[in-house]
A and B are shown apart, each in its own frame.
Chain A
């Protein structure tokens, strides 16, 4: 329990530090938010009134205190551009992003873990000779390029998938749930999901492979072989389970990373989501929205980190014992 509390305290500390850095970073950026916000023909008095309305006339420190106070109450402020509460704007874009992220992460990790284990088992084979360079190449390839290649082939050339968006043009659903569980949504999801999954699979694959190679040297594997267990049983039931621990951590952290890193995929596929919102907010100097979106991404990342820490203790008794000594 004490461990959980101390991790929680650290998480909040990190969130505060990130929030503070974000706050000052956006204010030190060149370009006034007013250029994006106020029309070029408005008078000086109007501009000043607006500056006052958004509290931009106060000192930076006063603005910072107000920002922290609101943050404690879960109030991320009002978006300059969308003219709505930041929370509403972000929450609207979040479901699409989460579905895209999770589905591609799961795909990437299921594939990565299986392929990694297989390649480790078949060490020195032709399969490894082909598999590793492919995994490395796809991991190194830029996302937008991958996306464009998939788009060109599967959408433009074969016509199997739509070229963009999250739903067909003009379709409307009774609820967000109905929309997300529709065939149409899945149809639109596949290409961006594949792009992201191909981009993400390299890490679990390589991680799994190197862990497996290590585990396969362990005595209990030799023992299994001596007991006459089938390769399949040794591979899946004994070796893979042990090799998976670091991969589980990587997955948890990957969730946070991928939510922020979806910008490229969302832009290539015109997929509505948090990443696009973020880019638009930064380029328009929409401080509150950019801050809010970054903070939410940070919060997700920290939460996942926290969960990884806790789950690690549950998965591996050694850590539990070591920390209680």
Chain B
């Protein structure tokens, strides 16, 4: 074997030598094209996100068949975001994910934020995708108040992204939740599209049938904050949405409906909303919820540096005016189809009497995110009781207009996935809300136990591979398309995600059936196709390495 190889090497070296002397045309071609540089494909570390890492390895394998030299590099989350998010010119390709949130049940956030060129410098468009035609569609869908007309625009946006492939979408993961059927009446759970049974409405309506009247849920990460101006991770956002009420809430149908407001009425242009608040609401400290508190909640994040995370959502608001003790008007600069979902159903109603002094006392450079309250006062259906390293305890607010059926919600920090599973079986928890382990194990455990019901849901969020659209060769849509087509999504869904997911090719998930454009599913795939596309575009293979088309040289190292 080794002899043959040496012989082979000798032969090719000889050929090259001979060719240099003779000046064969083949060699001059090789000299005029330059090889694509070695690429690093970033991913979360294998231990932290085994699915993502395995997908990265499969992709690297597929791409090396095209003649690319790809190395997978697994990094901890904060190092990864340091590179990808804060040093946007320095990387080539990375695995990434967008998670599902209730307010993302309107397609606007993903359509606008992920790919509009105005977000390329510091915003969510971290891949630097820049297509004026796409920008126009994204802006138009936001202004379009007619749902059917808007649907056409959202579909166009999806097709544009499908053509340009700024991401290679991989999979919409299936999430699994489970609850104890001996504790809860299963018919009282709300199964919301894209969110599953773990959503705000379930916490209100779920009915305990026996003596256990506490809802005991789990979270698999340590909590860092419980703050109405800040979301530090998934776990704390589940708590804030129960403690602090909102003007509107996303209903079981995925659409916003008035909640703390009795009504939200728009003028015909869609620029002025008249909001009438419910009568008799109080904060957990007994003070009434006033129109002023609502205005304060929508206005305070507008001030530079107060609540950077929420600021983009209040930016469209031009003015707010109190009409009477129960009514105020809200004026937008231009119509915004997603406003109810992205702002009125997202921002917490914050008591002005508590937070106005806290905000005034902030030091320079400090934001509301860094405030740690001794207690937390909202007007939501659950009151904050306590929080320590082990758990967060909330108690039902008996005076709330939509009083929960359970007595308490307790969120337990369980870092060990298998232990969480054991806890559902033993009754230590009765609602498995955060399960990242093997889905088959969950199903078999549920089958053995007999009193555990597993509910799956396709996520609004998705897993994808991000190309840095700023850097050659990824600034070439043909190149991106070829690389994307070379990825076998079915293989990845099966091998990396154990089949618990759905192959993806759109930034609007099929979990939002009204907006999802199913035509994007017809994605051609295969290594041969990818090779042909690259060859047609002028890319060549020289001694096993993919080279740029003639005349293009590697500009980067």
Which residues of A approach B to under 8 Å, CB–CB? 30-32, 35-36, 39-46, 48-50, 52-53, 81-84, 92-93, 148, 151-152, 155-156, 159, 162-170, 172, 267-270, 272-273, 276-277, 280, 283-285
Given A42-B308, A46-B308, A164-B419, verify A169-B412 contact (CB < 8 Å): yes
Q: Is the CB of B78 within 8 A of A84?
A: no
Q: Which of A83, A165, A170, A172 contacts B370 (CB 8 A)?
A: A83
28 A-B contacts (beta carbon < 8 Å): A31-B76, A31-B78, A31-B79, A31-B82, A35-B81, A39-B308, A41-B312, A43-B305, A46-B304, A53-B365, A83-B371, A92-B389, A155-B426, A159-B426, A162-B423, A162-B426, A162-B428, A163-B419, A163-B423, A163-B426, A166-B390, A167-B390, A169-B428, A170-B393, A267-B416, A270-B415, A272-B388, A273-B389
Q: Is the CB of B85 within 8 A of A35?
A: yes
Q: Sort A-B residue pairs by CB-CB distance and give the 6 closest, nearest first.
A: A49-B365, A272-B389, A42-B308, A163-B422, A31-B79, A163-B419
Question: Is B279 an interface position by the 8 A CB rule?
Answer: no
Q: Which of A49, A151, A172, A272 contacts B422 (CB 8 A)?
A: A151
Complex alpha-carbon distance, A84 and B439, angstroms: 38
Complex alpha-carbon distance, A82 and B230, angstroms: 13
Smallest CB separation, A39 vs chain B (Å): 5
Given A41-B312, A53-B365, verify A270-B390 contact (CB < 8 Å): yes
Complex alpha-carbon distance, A148 and B416, angstroms: 10
Question: Is B482 an interface position by the 8 A CB rule?
Answer: no
Smallest CB separation, B348 vs chain A (Å): 16
Q: Is the CB of A151 within 8 A of B419?
A: yes
Q: Is the CB of B365 within 8 A of A50?
A: yes
Q: Is the CB of A283 within 8 A of B372?
A: no
Interface 1/0s, chain B 347-388, versus A by CB < 8 A? 000000000000000011111011110000000000000101
What is the size, in residues, of chain B's interface with A at 8 Å between Cβ atoms?
Answer: 53
Which residues of B approach A to under 8 Å, CB–CB? 76-79, 81-82, 85-86, 122-123, 214, 216, 222, 224-225, 230, 304-305, 308-309, 311-312, 363-367, 369-372, 386, 388-391, 393, 408, 410, 412-416, 418-420, 422-423, 425-426, 428-429
Residues of B within 8 A of A84 (CB): 372
Q: Is the CB of A170 within 8 A of B391?
A: yes
Q: Which of A46, A152, A277 contacts B365 (CB 8 A)?
A: A46
Residues of A within 8 A of B363 (CB): 53
Q: Is the CB of A32 within 8 A of B82?
A: yes
Residues of B within 8 A of A50 (CB): 365-366
Apart from A84-B372, A172-B393, A270-B415: 6 A-B pairs, beta carbons within 8 A: A39-B309, A46-B305, A82-B224, A151-B416, A167-B390, A170-B391
Q: Is the CB of A165 within 8 A of B76?
A: no
Q: Which residue of A lies closest to B309 (CB)?
A: A39
Smallest CB separation, B230 vs chain A (Å): 8
Q: Is the CB of B309 within 8 A of A41?
A: yes
Smallest CB separation, B71 vs chain A (Å): 17
Residues of A within 8 A of B78 (CB): 31, 35-36, 283-285
Complex alpha-carbon distance, A32 and B80, angstroms: 11
Q: Which residue of B lies closest to A52 (CB)?
A: B365
Smallest CB separation, A148 vs chain B (Å): 7
Q: Is the CB of B308 within 8 A of A283?
A: no
Smallest CB separation, A32 vs chain B (Å): 5
